[in-house]
Structure 1
Amino acid sequence: MAQQSCPQLDILHDLLTTLPNTTIQGIVTDIREGVTEGRVTIMGVVACKLRRTQFDLGDPTYELAVKAHQARIPILCQGDLLKQGRSFTLQHPKNFTLDLDAWIGSREAAQALN
């Protein structure tokens, strides 16, 4: 019996593997490679679960990612989220910024607990 392509399943598969123009928020957990460019790994919520997402950044954005990593400041970044197996990659990253509102809010919450 020949397997036929089901358009609905193809669309569902694409939705589960690619989310175009997605904004992700997270904490930079790892930085790799050079001083002015390299691969960044963040831990953030993707599809309602805490997951690692990797993407490449160039100068001067990579330097901002290094500072976010050192200070543990949350970041925001947009791009095309791609699921490959169990891994997530953000392709065509843009609008990489520090999420200072989340950072200040978390610091205030921590101080309130003390």
Structure 2
Amino acid sequence: MKVTVQDTEILKNIEPQQLREYLQTHNWHEDRPFLAHATIWHKQVELGEFEILLPNTKNLGDYLSRVRELIQTVADAENLSTWEVLNEFVKNYPNLKIQGFVTQIATPNADRLSGEVTVVCPVFEKLRPIKIELLDHDYILAIKSYQERLPVRCTGDLFKEDNVFILKNIREFQLENI
């Protein structure tokens, strides 16, 4: 079964330069321009030759469908899941809702009731640790979650920095009703 990426919020945040850099570093070869808005890339593997149409800009009407197609083709050629490929491109994801468990609480900040916590939750079809800086009441809820093994949920903007997921602009941090 093939899983396809349908979430337009994820796809529209992927820059053409990120796609180009990935292809260059994974032995894809730029073949030729396609009209004025894209380039054609090839990769030869045991299964045969694969071809990708890489848009040069996000301003095209079919940009999202081309990125979906590119991710699926890379996954097929490199024997990966679409989620494994997508993970290479995700640098930010605005307004993401997460639900998971607090697995770590860093030493609190000395000057106010705040600190960094780690929440493990599914992101892009895989359990991942996400770092979150919390303040005041939210920080107290995170401690309670950690001590009592209660799930939490919140909304925020996900960023990936040096292969670490960080959730910023936290909203609606709360304990999950069980």
Stretches (4+) displaced over 4 A? none
**Cα distance between partner residues in 1 of 2:104 and 2:119:** 7
Residue number in structure 1 paired with 2:121: 44
Instruction: Answer with 1 or 2: which has the greater Rg.
Output: 2
**Cα distance between partner residues in 1 of 2:162 and 2:108:** 27
Quick one: percent identity of the two aligned structures?
Answer: 36
Is the aligned partner of 1:97 residue 2:174? yes
- The one-letter code sitting in structure 1 at the alignment partner of 2:134 is L
Q: Which has the higher contact order (CA 8 A, sep 6+)?
A: 1
**Cα distance between partner residues in 2 of 1:93 and 1:86:** 20
Residue number in structure 1 paired with 2:90: 16
**TM-score normalised by structure 1 residue count:** 0.74
Is the aligned partner of 1:82 residue 2:132? no
Return the offset for 1:32. 1.2
Q: Secondary structure at the match of 1:33?
A: coil
Unpaired runs of 5+ residues, structure 1, are 105-114
Residue number in structure 2 paired with 1:62: 139
Unpaired runs of 5+ residues, structure 2, are 1-15, 18-55, 59-63, 68-85
Return the offset for 1:63. 0.5
Residue number in structure 2 paired with 1:30: 104
Larger deviation: 22-31 or 79-88? Answer: 79-88
**Cα distance between partner residues in 2 of 1:61 and 1:22:** 17
Q: Secondary structure at the match of 1:34?
A: coil
**Cα distance between partner residues in 1 of 2:57 and 2:160:** 20
Give the number of the structure whose residues are more often strand, by fraction.
Answer: 1
